[in-house]
Amino acid sequence: MDARPSSLPCALPRALPADDAQRELLHNEVHARPPARIRLPALVVYVAVLNEGVSREAEWAHLRALPGQQDLPLQALSGNFVRLRFATHTLKWERHTEFSRYAIVQALPDEALADSHSDGLHEAALMRSLAVDVAWLAGIPGKTVAAIMMAMVHGDVDDTAAMRATAAPWFDGRDTLASLLGIRRSCAMADFRLRDSGFERLLVISPTNTSDQRVGRISQRLLELETYRLMALRGLPVAKTLAPMLGDAEARLAEITARMENKDASDQELLDKLIALAATVERATATHLYRFTATQAYYALVEQRIEQLRETPIPGTQTVGEFVLRRVSPAMATVQATAQRLSSLSQRIERASALLRTRVDIATESQNQTLLEKLTRGQELQLRLQTTVEGLSIAAIAYYVVSLILYVGKAGKAAGLPVNPELLAGALIPLVLLGIWWGTRRLQKRLHAGH
């Protein structure tokens, strides 16, 4: 036998059981949204829009409107992620449960960090230098929830004065938040202000030896931090809207409970009011529970992204993560308190309903017991009446039997028999009564035995 390995390719034998239907999909999820590789200096233009009512087909049609993307297949968007590469820039599209986001990475325009005496002229010049048409950005399907322009440049993160000088034109001379990321390897700066264009701005300064992969990860974390911050805050208006309704519902429940204690209203009236109140609270819960749950999930992601930034404070400047947590934490506490308040109200209504049902059940049992006593008393009366009727029936039957005997005796006397009809009838009365009573008893026994 030739033991030399064959030079022809051969398929490996299957060494595992059949794959689960979702094994490959779940396995590749770890590679679903890889961070971009960003070469500095760069400008990241980021837009996140709510996609409620926006189909994947509509987003696909909008992406195909980009130059050179007419042949983009719909299947390319099936994984909720696609990166389009152009000659001078890249565009990344991601679709999430509630929002879709578009991130364009292009070379940093020369005028981006140039001094300008007019904020409006600087903003207009920056918008004209974008790699995509402004009309295309304005036509993105959905409602804008976050829009960020992030400049990313090289610089010395140990020179605080130089970094502030670099940031001054980008932030129009306004005060900024700043923090060092990682082990003093990059600096992130922000002012959290919306410009006339609708964008807010971020600035990242990194040493010259920072890799493209690390720059991409920093970009992704900062953009996700701001997006999840805004998505988490969407629960705050809902909580404020629910506050008056919850106050009114709690007052109504207290009133119903007091009337239950004082017994100044019928159980049916109280039960109707409780049902109406429970319906109101359950409708609010069904309508807003998802938003409260999503808010908690988004806030957890905000805390996670802040932790991943591994910020180091710059003396005299508040860090980005500290600012976000201080501004967002009270809102999240309000949302959480409202959610707990809504849940507690639902439970209190359920307990009040249980108490009222218990009282109704006790009253019903008392009524049933009274009715049973009446029925028992009626049966006793019926039994006595039946006994009386049976006695009268025996007497009536005996009367007719004795009458027949009397007529028989009179007939015999007329026929010449030595019979005294009256004596014969009178003598047989006891026997007739005994016979009828005995026959009635046997008939009753047979009827009872049949049942």
pLDDT at residue 3, as a whole number = 47
Question: Quick check: 186 and 163 in contact, CB under 8 A?
Answer: no
- Decide which of 44 and 371 is more confident: 44
Asked if the model's pLDDT at residue 4 lies above 60, the reply is no
Higher pLDDT, 22 or 149: 149
Residues 332-336 have a mean pLDDT of 95
| pLDDT above 90 for 230 | yes
For the stretch 360-380, pLDDT in tens is 777 777 777 878 877 878 777
pLDDT value, residue 1: 42
pLDDT of residue 121 exceeding 70, the answer is: no
Most confident of 258-272, 335-349, 370-384: 335-349
How high does pLDDT run on average in the chain? 86
Interval 147-176 mean pLDDT: 91
Residue 448's pLDDT is 66
* Cβ–Cβ < 8 Å for 350, 358: no
Domain extents for the chain? 32-224, 383-441
* pLDDT tens by residue, 278-312: 999 999 999 999 999 999 999 999 999 999 999 99
Buried b / exposed e over 103-123, threshold 16 CB at 10 Å, is: bbbbebbeebbeeeeeeeebb
Structure confidence at residue 226 as a pLDDT band (50, 70, 90): very high
Query: Which residues lie below 8 Å from residue 166, measured CB to CB, with a gap of 6+?
Result: 113, 153, 155, 203, 205
Contact 420, 408 (CB under 8 A): no
pLDDT at res. 2: 47
Question: Which range, 76-85, 261-270, 395-404, 435-444, has the best average confidence (pLDDT)?
Answer: 76-85
Angle between helical axes of 320-414 and 235-262 (0-180°, round to 10): 40
Q: Residue 446: how many CB atoms within 10 A of its CB?
A: 9
Most confident among 10-19, 335-344, 347-356 (mean pLDDT): 335-344
Instruction: Work out the pLDDT band at 54, boundaries 50, 70, 90.
Output: very high
Asked if residue 316 has pLDDT above 80, the reply is: yes
